[in-house]
Chains A and B, each alone.
Chain A
Amino acid sequence: MTESIAGWFKHLHERTGINLTVFYDAFDAARFVAGVATTIELALICVILSLVIGLGGVIVQGSRSRLLKAVVNAYIQFFRNTPSLIQLYFFYFGLGPLIALPNASGQSVPLVSNFAWAAICFSIYAGAFNIEIFRAGVEAVSRSTVEAAEALGYTRLKSYIHVILPLAFRYSFPAFSNNMVNLTKLTSVSYAIAVPEILYASSQIWSDALNVPEMMNIVLVSYVLIVSVFVYAMGRIERALRLPGVGI
């Protein structure tokens, strides 16, 4: 089966000049599949980390400590107002070399890899947006609900965890889902520091096989597929979380 598919694409290349090496060249196929896997892995790690940052940040924003609030606000302003490519360069080339240990031959080797920097960078970038998104959700929770929780003896933190956040999360889910779709696409920026994701793998392939238009199509189709599956999953979660009667 795989033999005949490979044969068909080889034949396609000879007959029409359309060179889809990823379907018949085992080496190119392997690096492309690895690229897809890296993109998915990076996106999932970033979604989870940025969700944690968003929830943590919004709890801190609701706290009474002026200092903590100021720290979170500074973080949001800093990471929301700088481009993520610049942040990536800053972390990888600027900060990376400072966090290093010498290896056996005396050369200092950075402890944080390019993949890890990309994961950190995109998580805190999308996390900054998530805090703002969840804050909007928290503000949409009606005052009377919050007062009811307080009247029942919930502490501030407990009322956040058990009453406000579950409602706020539902209110802000569509905006959160948008941000996460953007985050998935943002992973392609890590191409700049040679994280072997889809775009990087494809550029390696088209540099060797010189099939730029073909690979561009494959990259586009791959992103459409990955993001479609992601959007479908987010839609399923949104429906599962639906609260009848609250209007969400």
Chain B
Amino acid sequence: MTMLTRTCLRALLAGSLALLASHAMADAIDDIKARGTLLVGGKTDYKPFGYREPSGKVVGFSVDLAQRVADKLGVKVEIVPTTAANQLQFLEQGKVDVVIAAMNDTPERRKIVYVVEPGYYASGASVLAVKTARIQKWEDLKGQKVCAAQGAYFNRAVQERYGADIIAFKAPTEAYNALRNGNCSAFVYDDNTLTLKLEEPEWAGYEVPLKSIMPQPVAMAVRLGEERFHALLTSLSNEWYKTGVIVQLEDKWFPGKKSTFVQDMVAKYR
């Protein structure tokens, strides 16, 4: 590669990367208090973490936690709808102060945002498929069309490891629709959400036949460099395990479920 093309390429990229680097704003906590509102990037189509009630109000596991963070700061909370594919860009651009969107903690994401430890729940990937398709193991997906939601961290693995032909839609709603229409033989998605979907009467002929893969904690995230906000959220999430908040929320949003992840975390942070 010649020097000239190298310089051109670098100039081209530098222009857009400058956008990323220009976060020379005041501390997020100051901004939030001055504004009087905590802007939370959250999902609105992701039961039970964040979804719309028939009244239009966004509720869920993550929303309850967002409310607690806002209470701690003494401000109001506003949920800004985001998707897996754009949540981190919303955060980087300052459109939201924190992402509480059942986002899975991955090494790639850690490079561009501060992920808050410990995570507040854990989820993995499984598939929703019509019962008559008789999918019994992940290898059965080889060469099959499998719907997915864009931005999910396990899409690539399902394609690479099991040879599934992934068709990823912008939002889970479209993927559910495509699955129902027969455009794909299964829908690979978050295991918690899919299991809950089975309780709805219109999904009676469907099942979640596979054991979950790639379990990962789901965690809050803030912009790189937000030391004070990150420290505050870290101590908050410690406290949530200590005082039983997460256990209560699990009971509220996953009635009867006692996940090993929550048990382990409670033992660790007690």
Interface string of B163-193 (1 = CB under 8 A from A): 0001111100010011001110100000000
B177: which A residues are within 8 A, CB to CB?
Answer: 93
For the complex, what is the distance from the CA of A241 to the CA of B183, rounded to whole Å?
44
For the complex, what is the distance from the CA of A96 to the CA of B182, rounded to whole Å?
10
For the complex, what is the distance from the CA of A200 to the CA of B134, rounded to whole Å?
30
The reply to whether the CB of B259 lies closer than 8 angstroms to some CB of chain A is no
For the complex, what is the distance from the CA of A8 to the CA of B9, rounded to whole Å?
13
Q: Which of A42-98 contact B (CB under 8 A)?
A: 93, 96-97
The reply to whether the CB of A105 lies closer than 8 angstroms to some CB of chain B is yes
B231: which A residues are within 8 A, CB to CB?
Answer: none
The reply to whether the CB of B67 lies closer than 8 angstroms to some CB of chain A is no
The reply to whether the CB of B82 lies closer than 8 angstroms to some CB of chain A is no
Do A208 and B108 touch (CB < 8 A)? Answer: yes
The reply to whether the CB of B3 lies closer than 8 angstroms to some CB of chain A is no
Give how many B residues have a beta carbon under 8 Å from the other chain's beta carbons: 39
The reply to whether the CB of A39 lies closer than 8 angstroms to some CB of chain B is no
Given known pairs A210-B108, A213-B16, the reply for A109 and B182 (CB within 8 Å) is yes
A17, A93, A203, A212 interface centre (most CB from chain B within 10 Å): A212
The reply to whether the CB of A248 lies closer than 8 angstroms to some CB of chain B is no
Output the nearest chain B residue to A194 by Cβ-Cβ distance. Answer: B167
Given known pairs A105-B130, A194-B167, the reply for A97 and B182 (CB within 8 Å) is yes
For the complex, what is the distance from the CA of A93 to the CA of B20, rounded to whole Å?
37
Q: Which of A191-239 contact B (CB under 8 A)?
A: 192-194, 200, 203-204, 207-210, 212-214, 216-217, 221
The residue that A207 contacts in the complex, of B13, B16, B111, B150, with Cβ under 8 A, is B150
The reply to whether the CB of A161 lies closer than 8 angstroms to some CB of chain B is no
Distance in Å: Cβ of A114 to nearest Cβ of chain B:
7
B25: which A residues are within 8 A, CB to CB?
Answer: none
The reply to whether the CB of B153 lies closer than 8 angstroms to some CB of chain A is yes
Question: Binding site of B, secondary structure by majority: helix, strand, loop or mixed?
Answer: helix
Given known pairs A209-B108, A210-B112, the reply for A108 and B16 (CB within 8 Å) is no
Distance in Å: Cβ of B145 to nearest Cβ of chain A:
9
For the complex, what is the distance from the CA of A194 to the CA of B149, rounded to whole Å?
10
The residue that B16 contacts in the complex, of A8, A107, A194, A217, with Cβ under 8 A, is A217
A100, A194, A210 interface centre (most CB from chain B within 10 Å): A194
Distance in Å: Cβ of B223 to nearest Cβ of chain A:
14
Do A203 and B150 touch (CB < 8 A)? Answer: yes
Total of A-B residue pairs, C-beta within 8 Å: 82
Do A210 and B181 touch (CB < 8 A)? Answer: no
A18: which B residues are within 8 A, CB to CB?
Answer: 10, 13, 17
The residue that A100 contacts in the complex, of B111, B156, B182, with Cβ under 8 A, is B182
For the complex, what is the distance from the CA of A203 to the CA of B132, rounded to whole Å?
32
For the complex, what is the distance from the CA of A200 to the CA of B85, rounded to whole Å?
12
Given known pairs A27-B160, A107-B130, the reply for A114 and B167 (CB within 8 Å) is yes
Q: Which of B1-41 contact A (CB under 8 A)?
A: 1, 10, 12-13, 16-17, 19-20
Distance in Å: Cβ of B136 to nearest Cβ of chain A:
13
For the complex, what is the distance from the CA of A210 to the CA of B152, rounded to whole Å?
12
A108: which B residues are within 8 A, CB to CB?
Answer: 182
Given known pairs A204-B150, A213-B16, A213-B20, the reply for A107 and B183 (CB within 8 Å) is no
Do A93 and B181 touch (CB < 8 A)? Answer: yes
B183: which A residues are within 8 A, CB to CB?
Answer: 96, 110, 114
For the complex, what is the distance from the CA of A193 to the CA of B92, rounded to whole Å?
28
The reply to whether the CB of A106 lies closer than 8 angstroms to some CB of chain B is yes
Distance in Å: Cβ of B73 to nearest Cβ of chain A:
28
B112: which A residues are within 8 A, CB to CB?
Answer: 210
A100: which B residues are within 8 A, CB to CB?
Answer: 181-182
For the complex, what is the distance from the CA of A213 to the CA of B178, rounded to whole Å?
30
The reply to whether the CB of A5 lies closer than 8 angstroms to some CB of chain B is yes
The reply to whether the CB of B151 lies closer than 8 angstroms to some CB of chain A is yes
Supply 6 A–B pairs (Cβ within 8 Å), ascending by A: A109-B182, A193-B169, A203-B151, A204-B150, A213-B17, A213-B19
7 additional contacts (CB under 8 A) given A203-B85, A213-B20: A96-B181, A96-B183, A97-B182, A100-B181, A114-B183, A203-B168, A204-B166
